[in-house]
Amino acid sequence: MKKYDAEKAPSAAEWLALAEHEQVTLIEAYHKRIKAKLPNRQIHALAHVVVENQLAEGIEVVGEAVERLVAEGLDRHEAIHAIGSVLMEHLRSLMQGTETGPDHVEQYFQEVKSLTKAGWYESTIS
């Protein structure tokens, strides 16, 4: 794979065959091409990598969330950002010890299931 485009799903087999650093490099290069202004390009790319890996691995909850968010009017790249924001908030809660419940992965999946375009927009302005 020579280029990454967040608007198009990469081939799952081709994506998963890449080393993580290659995935990160491709995503960072994409954001440079589109001239995205990011506070931390590498952390942003890591969130993209996790979401793209979940999609490529066929994690149904994440795939359904992308489809739902796109149907609500987001483009694929925005949908990845929305899911990535849930991921990053989930990780922040885990690191701070504020995460509740014994099954952290299931809690993350529940948050992804309830994610909406309106909810994501609201969380980005608050």
Q: What pTM, to 2 d.p., does this model score?
A: 0.91
Write down the pLDDT at residue 13: 97
**Whole-angstrom distance, CA of residue 109 vs CA of residue 116:** 13
Write down the pLDDT at residue 74: 97
**Whole-angstrom distance, CA of residue 18 vs CA of residue 37:** 26
Average pLDDT over residues 91-97: 79
Average pLDDT in the chain: 91
Residue whose entry in the numeric block shows the structure tokens 């529940």: 110
Q: Higher confidence at residue 26 or residue 107?
A: 26
Digit-coded pLDDT (tens) for 25-68: 999 999 999 999 988 889 999 999 999 999 999 999 999 999 99
Give alpha helix (H) positions in 20-103: 20-33, 41-56, 60-71, 76-96
Q: Higher confidence at residue 64 or residue 125?
A: 64
Write down the pLDDT at residue 99: 62
For residue 104, the surrounding DSSP H or E stretch is helix 104-113
Q: What's at 66, amino acid-wise?
A: V
> Would you give the end-to-end CA distance of the chain in angstroms?
37
Write down the pLDDT at residue 100: 62
pLDDT band at 126 (very low <50, low <70, confident <90, very high): low
